[in-house]
Chain A
Amino acid sequence: MNIVLDVLSWACLAGGGFFCVVGGIGLIRMPDFYTRMHAASVTETLGAGLILLGLMLQAGFTLVTAKLLLICLFIFLTSPAATHALAKAALLRGLQPLLTAMGDKPSKP
């Protein structure tokens, strides 16, 4: 039983780390501010979620798991609010999203 938990938590940790790096790369490569926010939210949801899940599996039913659950709840409640505030402030401040340039034809759906 212990082996299964170890393998599962190792997979969650590796997956969480992978998604964090994917979000970081997206933060670099995305063309526009609003698309970069999507990339950043990948790290905040999947990356953080999987890493914390991996740590929870490692900790078992103890106080540590309760704290990890609190951190998970905290991230899932506040990161959308922060991202929304960021997008609203950017839009109000006049940062225009990079839509298709007027010249070229719109991409077919």
Chain B
Amino acid sequence: MFATAACALLATIALALARAALGPSVFDRLQSANTIGTCAMLLLAVMGFLGGRPEFLDLALVYGLLNVLGTIAVLKYFRHGDLGEPGDAEESPKP
């Protein structure tokens, strides 16, 4: 039962990897990285149940947190060209 969910998640990760490789723009790659992170989080949870180890759920939660933070940080870098000084909020992004 968990094996079917784990295989489906692995298939989704493979498809997202293919999109990351194909993706024309950098944002496609970032989108697939975000999807891979979510699927990895779910896979961790399913593996925790498969292996009978409830600690994996804490790993999944922390992994999800780091994944979202990483996405936001990379986005900020791409949008401002650098990580942006504190305070210059909505000025026009440098090309």
Report yes or no: A71 in contact with B45, Cβ–Cβ below 8 A: yes
Contacts A13-B4, A93-B78; A20 near B9 (Cβ below 8 A)? yes
Within 8 A of A (CB), among B1-37: 1-2, 4-5, 7-9, 11-16, 18-19, 22, 25, 27-28, 30-32, 34-35
| A: contact size bracket | 35 or more
Among A13, A67, A93, which residue has its beta carbon within 8 angstroms of that of B57? Answer: A67
Q: Name the A residues within 8 Å of B22 (CB-CB).
A: 28
What is B's interface to A at a CB cutoff of 8 Å? 1-2, 4-5, 7-9, 11-16, 18-19, 22, 25, 27-28, 30-32, 34-35, 38-39, 41-42, 45-46, 49, 54, 57-58, 60-61, 64-65, 68, 71-72, 75-76, 78-79, 93
What is A's interface to B at a CB cutoff of 8 Å? 6, 9-10, 13-14, 16-18, 20-21, 23-25, 27-28, 33, 36-37, 40, 43-44, 47-48, 51-52, 54-55, 58-59, 63-64, 67-68, 70-71, 74-75, 78-79, 81-83, 85-86, 88-90, 92-93, 95
